Each structure stands twice: as C-alpha cells, then as structure tokens.
Amino acid sequence: MQALWGIDLGGTKIEGVVLQGKDNLKPIARLRVPTEQVHGYHHILNQIKKLVAQLSAATYLSPTHIGIGTPGTLDPQTQLLKNSNTLCLNDKPLKKDLEDLLGVPVAMANDANCFAVAEARMGAVQSQFPEARVVFGV
C-alpha cells in the first residue's frame, strides 16, 4: 500500500500522520509527541525519529519519503533553517539531519505555507476562494 507521511513540527508538539488513498486521502494513523524544545535540537530530532517509529508500528508501514512542515524557512543557499520561533532550530541543517537520521528523503516547507496549500487543495475553501490565500504565521 502506498502511503503519504507528514509531520507538523511545532513548538509544543510534533504531530505525524500517515495517509492512504489517491483522490480521497484518509488518515490511517495520527500520533503526536511533545517537542520539548527546552532539551535542544538533537532531542527534537530524536522525538521526530520516535514519532516515525510509532507511526510505523501503528501502520505496519515504513516511509519512502516524508513531508515536514516547520516553523521558519529553509534557506535555499545554506540549507539551514531560519526565522524559527523554536529557537534551537535556527541555523541548523534540519533537512539533512532528518534525512540522515530517518534514512529517507525529506520535503520541507514552512508550516503556514503547508496549511495554506492543504486547505486550498483539500479543505473547505478549495471551491470558495481559489485565487488568494493569506496566512499569518507565528
């Protein structure tokens, strides 16, 4: 079974979902772990690894790639995370470190942008306001 894996990396929680389906995506597993950013960058990496392991156990699947919504943005030149309100993530090679840790390709984008795209493609507003999106990120 082909599945889509997504992670929302937040300041207080990291939530993961595994979706199946082609046109009508359905969640088959949805779990969360605390971010615990006070413990630092490497702890957050390990929390994400733990979440992926829990999702794998719940679904009997392994990811082939993972999409991650992050606070802040990935600098295209340096590949370092910038402008994150989770301060320990700033100036870190989060994408590379996660790819190394998880052993799969990672697609990464700002979490507010991920929300806007998901809402436009699959949410309640997809047929209401197809031309404009305004997102206020924290």
Domain boundaries, the chain: 3-122
Question: Tokens 């199946």 label which residue?
Answer: 20
Give the fold, CATH level 3, of 3-122.
Nucleotidyltransferase; domain 5 (3.30.420)
The mean pLDDT value for 96-103 works out to 98
pLDDT value for 56 = 98
pLDDT value for 69 = 95
Q: What share of the chain is helix, strand, coil (3-state, %, to 5)?
A: 35, 30, 40
Tell me the backbone φ, ψ of residue 44, rounded to 5 degrees: -65, -40
Cβ–Cβ contacts within 10 Å for residue 131, how many?
A: 5
pLDDT value for 21 = 82
Write the pLDDT tens digit of every residue in 10-50.
Answer: 999 999 999 998 777 899 999 999 999 999 999 999 999 99
pTM metric for this prediction = 0.87
CA distance 68 to 132: 23
